Chains A and B, each alone.
Chain A
Amino acid sequence: MANLIIHSPILIIAIPLLVAFLTPLIGRASGKARDVLVVASLAFVEFLVIILARDIYLNGLRVYTLGALSPDLTIPENYIVPIRIILEADSMSIFMAIITATVSLAAAIYSLSFMKEETGQDRFYTLLLLLAVGMFGMELTGDLFNLFVFLEIASIAGAALAAFRTRFADTAEGGFKYIVISSVAALMVLLAIGLFYAQYNLINIGALAHVMQYTMLDKIALVLLVTAFMMKLAAVPLHMWCPDTYSVAPAGITIMLVVASYACLYALFRTCFTLYGVCLNLTTVGWIVIIFGLLSMFIGVTMAVFQTDIKRLMAYHCISQTGYMLLGIGVGLAVLDNPEALNAYGIAAMDGGIFHIINNALYKGLLFLTAGALFYRTGTRDLNKMGGLAHKMKWTTIFYIIGALSISGIPPSNGFASKLLIYESVYQFNPILAIVAMITSILTLASFTKAFYSAFMGAELPEYQEVREVPKSMIAGMAILAAGIIFFSLFPGLVVDRLAQPATNALINRGVYINGIMGGGG
């Protein structure tokens, strides 16, 4: 068991990678065996993530040096800087890995039935696992260049999956937008890595943070990195690709793309807090993040109100929910060098923002899956053509209600818990920001109520006489996420103390992360 924990950082990445290339081989022999293998490997990864998370909570961060005599030997003898590939998992990275593992598992189980009628399923699962590998890699790596490589892996797999159902006319368009925006973003990241390497001859995040001078070139690199991650995050005004891609991707993949964008959110936090940290002009950068957040929050929700395509509507809400996270973290960033304000409300704002990531991954994931279920049975995403589906699809209706209540922040849901944390703390920073956040929440409720009435309520429509409840595996996929929401709603305090708070501390105390690289092994 201890051995398993020591090697778990690399296993979390290596197992899905290996299984990804096994699936076409085994799929040739039997489709059932392949399905079992995919789900089992993701379940095992989920298990590894959880034991690693427990270990990090108890013993602090864990580094894994590839190819070294012992995994914690980050700096080889006779060297003063790390030269090997290093994975570094602290509370923040493992927090993101928990989200990725849970959502990937739910997505894979859901896709078993959802994609049953499609051709090329072997390749579908290969790509799905590669997308998971890309996300885990981004979250666990301690090295900027690996971050770029995993970002590209996730982008290529994600775009191919979004465009997977090529029989539809619009899928290739959605996939193409995703790959274009991803390649531009990734090349900007690579350019920033070049700028760092030119000055410091380093690409390790911890080692770079250790020697960061904040020169003119570093400022250019910061602009490149922040723009690139904001593009991938679909923050307004860089959001144009998001509704198109999310609405055409298969539902199981949409939720993984949402999580992939949060992996970029993680990369953004890592850049701002760990890589630059107190070197930054914190007020300016904090306010830039806050303004991105505000714009995303408000414009996202106002665009959503007018949508008639259910997945497009949810995609716009996704943009708007990302705004809350940026708002919470932005406030924390703006007061990072002011201990008094940080303790008074900065930490609470960041807790709220981070807690909101996992909440949103769960309820937005659940909602996208119910939208997929509606599409699976009715063959349309147009809300105006749906109606009366609550009579036929009871489970889907229940899951939709759970998700909609949670996203609108109705007490006592988990969405309410994280939003309340954000409102309270942001109000002390600047009351106007909190008011915008509340208005957004009201509009969110309005929009989901409208969607609920159009899709589920009313008389049964004659064209949907044949509609039945969706297959079991799709219900199971949704149930995993719904169980998460209910658990988080019942024990929000536990989640904040065990998951969100340590993650916030990991971001604030960049010294710990740097020390994990520069202090170990010697």
Chain B
Amino acid sequence: MTEGIPFNVPFLAVAALIGIAFYIIVSQRNMIKLVLGLSILASGVNLFLITLGYRKGGIAPIYTHAPEGIMVLPVPQALTLTSIVIAVATLALMLSMVVHIYRHTGSTDSEKSRIMKG
């Protein structure tokens, strides 16, 4: 199924995701959208890591009873798994903070809810 896809299409997707994410982080004032931007950034980086480890036609890197053929690299998968877990924790913490900000100031707009200046 993956045969027909040129190898660098995933990398283009990575670049697009990271670009969109940075655009959102810089331009959006709504804090929920900002958090979503960070989530997209994390997905972009994860996709990058997974794509690095992929080998065309590779099988899962499990040595026991492995059929013949090349394996995909296991290290990036381990890295990605860790990174996904961390991203979930960060996401949850950020959203809970937005909830607290909303409770105190009644707004999720980063300009209106800002208390500290200078």
Contacts and interface: CB of A to CB of B under 8 A. Distances in A.
A247 B45 CA distance: 32
B11 to A, nearest CB: 10
Interface string B16-59: 00100000010000010010001001100100110010000000
A505 interface: no
SS of B interface (majority) = helix
B5 interface: no
Contact of B49 (A160, A194, A303): A194
Nearest to B83: A190
A187 B89 contact: no
Given A169-B104, A194-B48, A187 B42 contact: yes
B25 A203 contact: no
A181 B50 CA distance: 25
A184 interface: yes
A244 B115 CA distance: 9
A194 B116 contact: no
Interface string A134-166: 000000000001001100100110011001001
A307 interface: yes
B101 interface: yes
B115 A198 contact: no
Given A180-B34, A243-B116, A173 B101 contact: yes
B101 A149 contact: no
Contacts of A191: 18, 45, 48
Contacts of B34: 180
B10 interface: no
Interface string B86-103: 100110011001101100
B52 A198 contact: yes
Interface residues of A, number: 40
A441 to B, nearest CB: 23
B100 A179 contact: no
Contacts of A171: 100
Contact of B90 (A148, A174, A179): A179
Contacts of A169: 104-105, 115
Given A166-B100, A191-B45, A173 B93 contact: no
Interface residues of B, number: 33
A173 B114 contact: yes
Contacts of A198: 52
A487 interface: no
A172 B104 contact: yes
A188 B42 CA distance: 10
A236 interface: no
A193 interface: yes
Nearest to A176: B97
A247 B116 contact: yes
A375 to B, nearest CB: 15
A409 to B, nearest CB: 26
Contacts of A159: 93, 97
Residue with the highest number of chain A CB atoms closer than 10 Å, among B18, B25, B76: B76
A79 interface: no
A350 B7 CA distance: 46
Interface in A183-219: 183-184, 186-187, 190-191, 193-194, 197-198, 201, 203
Contacts of A187: 38, 41-42, 45
Contacts of B75: 197, 201, 203
A312 B105 CA distance: 21
Nearest to B46: A190
Contacts of B49: 190, 194, 197
B31 to A, nearest CB: 7
A173 B115 contact: yes
A193 B94 contact: no
A173 B116 contact: yes
B70 interface: no
A194 B115 contact: no
Nearest to A172: B100
Contacts of A201: 73, 75
Given A187-B45, A194-B52, A203-B75, A179 B93 contact: yes
A172 B90 CA distance: 14
Contacts of B113: 173
A170 interface: yes
B52 A156 contact: no
A184 B37 CA distance: 10
A174 B114 CA distance: 10
Contacts of B52: 194, 197-198
A180 B101 contact: no
Interface string A201-245: 101000000000000000000000000000000000000000110
Contacts of A197: 49, 52, 75-76, 79
A182 B82 CA distance: 17
Contact of B118 (A156, A193, A306): A306
A170 B93 CA distance: 16
Interface of A: 145, 148-149, 152, 155-156, 159-160, 163, 166, 169-176, 179-180, 183-184, 186-187, 190-191, 193-194, 197-198, 201, 203, 243-244, 247-248, 303, 306-307, 312
6 contacts: A172-B100, A173-B101, A183-B42, A183-B94, A191-B48, A244-B116
Closest 9 CB pairs of A and B: A172-B100, A169-B104, A176-B97, A170-B115, A152-B86, A172-B101, A244-B116, A172-B97, A198-B52
Given A163-B97, A187-B38, 11 more contacts: A160-B93, A169-B115, A170-B116, A172-B98, A173-B115, A173-B116, A176-B98, A184-B38, A197-B49, A198-B52, A312-B118
